[in-house]
Amino acid sequence: MILVTGGAGFIGGNFVLDWLANPQAEGLINLDKLTYAGNLDTLKSLKDDPRHLFIHGDIGDRVLVKRLLEEHRPRAIINFAAESHVDRSIHGPSDFVQTNIVGTFNLLESVREYWNALAEPSKSQFRFHHVSTDEVYGSLGPHDPAFTETHTYEPNSPYSASKAASDHLVRAWFHTYGLPVLTTNCSNNYGPYHFPEKLIPLVILNALNGKPLPIYGDGQQIRDWLFVGDHCSAIREVLAKGKLGETYNIGGWNEKANLDVVKTICQILDELKPRADNKAYIEQITFVKDRPGHDRRYAIDASKVERELGWRPNETFETGIRKTVQWYLDNPIWVEGVASGSYRDWLHKQYD
Ligand code: NAD
Ligand code: DAU
């Protein structure tokens, strides 16, 4: 078996679905705390799949994690669990420190105890894969080269600082204790099952609901977009073939300014689901107050994972964004499920 943490969230959920879509794949324990971002509806299609064992719990709960490791003896752990939204980290950084730093520390300690007691060859075959972000590298100027794995860590938000801290812990557990770790730092993901607090799903749903499409500042901030299925395939590749203790940057070479991303979504919606009044969705664009400490540009240099492991993304931004818009149009029930009271409270807090 493998153990996945945070597998009811956006990327973890996609990873679990993709993994189990392979009939040959081994079973998977999915440990998730089900915070506001965890959603069991994402995993509904697995309810009769005996290879999926969902456990409701915290990565920082050492008693629980010890029991899970001893009972199920996974050959690998993939740590997706985190608080992941930058704006929430600005309103309240405490959960970010607790899960991303203290939680990762506790998980590493539980795993170290388990791994130390493994016999060969299980011990040398074991892997701890930590899923991280390009945001740890900070912000790029307009002409700077894209982030490589040796770029200095310069996190600017409570979220990215907490992820940077977790990356450092993972690195230290490799160098000090020999724990067989792998780290991936990925750029912005988008795709199905994305919680609509993040730019792309927020814009799709606000557009359809006739609400403003909020653009922070001048909308010229650049993000490097990767379809979530491509991130999942990169993780499978790194888990299978990555060199111990190494980090791999994952990205799709898709730098886009936010305003252009939003305009593209509007154009696709104009085509797939025209407004009742036949006006363009673009009219709903509204410029709002900027995010404090807003990073101007991210760009990932993915040449290491491409060169050393032969990974390539399948989707371009144009194909991936169209699939994503179509997915939200086709899945109103999932959308209704997440647009609950707590989500509405967040929208008021952030945008009113
Ligand atoms: P998400 O917020 O959608 O999901 C996080 C999941 O973790 C949720 O299911 C939540 O319930 C769970 N969780 C939170 N705290 C937990 C805890 N203490 N114990 C167990 N489970 C807990 O996040 P996401 O966008 O899917 O991101 C997954 C990982 O990928 C994160 O580590 C994030 O930093 C990283 N990442 C995200 C992106 C992106 O664009 N979304 C890009 C690069 C890296
Ligand atoms: O780069 C990887 C990171 O991408 C991940 O580590 C994070 O977990 C993930 O949330 C994402 O962070 P961003 O802050 O880049 O994503 P978000 O969707 O929140 O914002 C994307 C850009 O759009 C960013 O420049 C802020 C802007 N934005 C966002 C929202 C929610 C707006 O202009 N308006 C909005 O309403």
Q: Is residue 269 part of a domain?
A: no
Query: Would the CA dihedral through 145, 149, 155, 157 be positive or negative?
Result: positive
Q: Is residue 301 part of a domain?
A: yes
Contacts of 115 (CB under 8 A, 6+ apart): 123, 126, 128, 179, 180
Residue 136 near residue 155 (C-beta atoms within 8 A): yes
* Interatomic CA distance for residues 287 and 87, integer angstroms: 16
Q: Is residue 263 part of a domain?
A: no
Q: Is residue 149 part of a domain?
A: yes
* Interatomic CA distance for residues 171 and 150, integer angstroms: 13
Structure tokens at 67: 């029991």
What secondary structure does DSSP assign to 145-190, as a single string? Answer: PPB-TTSPP---SHHHHHHHHHHHHHHHHHHHH---EEEEEE-EEE
pLDDT at residue number 339: 85
pLDDT at residue number 343: 87
The one catalytic residue in 83, 135, 224, 237 is 135
**Any residues with Cβ below 6 Å from ligand 1, and which?**
5-6, 8-12, 31-35, 37-38, 58-60, 80-84, 99, 103, 131, 133, 163, 186, 188-189, 195
**5 Cα: distance to centroid of ligand 1 (angstroms):** 9
Q: Is residue 126 part of a domain?
A: yes
C-alpha closest to that of 296 among 258, 260, 263: 258
pLDDT at residue number 352: 84
Which ligand sits nearest to residue 219's alpha carbon?
A: 2
Residue 190: beta bridge partners?
227
pLDDT at residue number 342: 84
User: How many structural domains does the chain have?
Assistant: 1
Q: Is residue 175 part of a domain?
A: yes
Reply yes or no on whether 134 is catalytic.
Answer: yes
**10 Cα: distance to centroid of ligand 1 (angstroms):** 7
CATH number at residue 146: 3.40.50.720
- Domain span holding position 234: 2-190+228-252+294-313
- C-alpha distance from residue 323 to each of 35, 208, 265 (Å): 27, 16, 11
Q: Is residue 6 part of a domain?
A: yes
Tens digits of pLDDT across the chain (352 residues): 999 999 999 999 999 999 999 999 999 999 999 999 999 999 999 999 999 999 999 999 999 999 999 999 999 999 999 999 999 999 999 999 999 999 999 999 999 999 999 999 999 999 999 999 999 999 999 999 999 999 999 999 999 999 999 999 999 999 999 999 999 999 999 999 999 999 999 999 999 999 999 999 999 999 999 999 999 999 999 999 999 999 999 999 999 999 999 999 999 999 999 999 999 999 999 999 999 999 999 999 999 999 999 999 999 999 999 999 999 999 999 999 998 878 888 888 999 8
Q: Is residue 202 part of a domain?
A: no
Nearest protein Cα to ligand 2, atom 21: 199
C-alpha closest to that of 135 among 160, 117, 111: 160
> Exposed/middle/buried for 304, CB within 10 Å: 0-12, 13-18, 19+?
middle
pLDDT at residue number 341: 75
